[in-house]
Structure 1
Amino acid sequence: MSRRNVSSGSYLEPQIGFSRAVRIGNVVAVGGTAPIAASGGIDCIGDVYGQTRRCLEIALTALVEAGGDSADVIRTRILLTDIATWDEAARAHSEIFTDIRPVTTVMEVSRFVDPDWLVEIELDAIVKD
């Protein structure tokens, strides 16, 4: 099976040595996606809902580039620096996934690479051939 790497253009991709998404066969994995603004910097500083929306936008854009769409998502992971804000992240997540209903894990982590990141999102998908 061939491997297809997808870049989101994150400044961290070459520094860490990762791809935003990887597709092998009909499986796509999208790695930890931070709320990077389109112009660079951090999007929606201090706003978990807004940052979650941005993370999902970036992750789903990578999924589309890999040949899938939101209906193909089977798993998401929502990582938060403050679990008390889970409902704001869940609200953003449900706006996209209410009818799709992937397996989802919500967890708290101590911190991310940038202290202004409040959330990161990962997703896995099985795309239709």
Structure 2
Amino acid sequence: MRKLVSTGSPWESKVGYSRAVVIGNAIFISGTSGEGEDVYAQTRNALQTIEKVLAENGFALADVVQSRLAVADFDHWEDAARAHGEAYGEIRPAFSLVHALPFVEDAILVEVEAVAVRASA
């Protein structure tokens, strides 16, 4: 069964995507931007949104098996990586860090994606 998850972003209907898609014991979370004045703050906020989407769908941050950071200004990749490390600590999912030029809105400095899998009961 395929469950589509929306957070009400106007981009979801404009572009034709879901914030997340749940299939069985897996959830795939789309690129998620955050609010804040700098890369660190936006990354932390995006990760909080991801954690909320996970929890609302029966997953935990500890279930994340893959994460991707896309950073617009690569001079600040370490700020995004620091926020990522604080959130994932010992979870240590598979990880990619990419440089994106530019995002659709100038205010967006970073996007975070995640894939999580619940362990079978």
Q: Given the alignment, which residue of 47, 50, 53 partners 1:62?
A: 53
| Other-structure match for 2:19 | 20
Query: How many angstroms apart in 2 are the aligned matches of 1:107 and 1:89?
Result: 11
How far off its partner does 1:81 sit?
0.6
Secondary structure of the residue that 1:8 maps to in structure 2? Answer: coil
Give the TM-score normalised by structure 1: 0.88
How far off its partner does 1:67 sit?
1.3
| Other-structure match for 2:67 | 76
| Other-structure match for 2:103 | 112
In structure 2, give the amino acid aligned to 1:74: V
Unaligned runs of 5+ in 1: 36-42
| Other-structure match for 2:6 | 7
How far off its partner does 1:28 sit?
0.7
Q: Which deviates the most, 59-68 or 116-125? A: 59-68
Give the TM-score normalised by structure 2: 0.94
| Other-structure match for 2:112 | 121
In structure 2, give the amino acid aligned to 1:14: S
Please list every run of at least 4 consecutive aligned residues from structure 1 whose deviation after the TM superposition is greater than 4 angstroms: none
Seq. identity, %: 40
Within 5 Å, give how 1:96-107 maps onto structure 2.
96-107=87-98
| Other-structure match for 1:40 | none
How far off its partner does 1:79 sit?
0.1
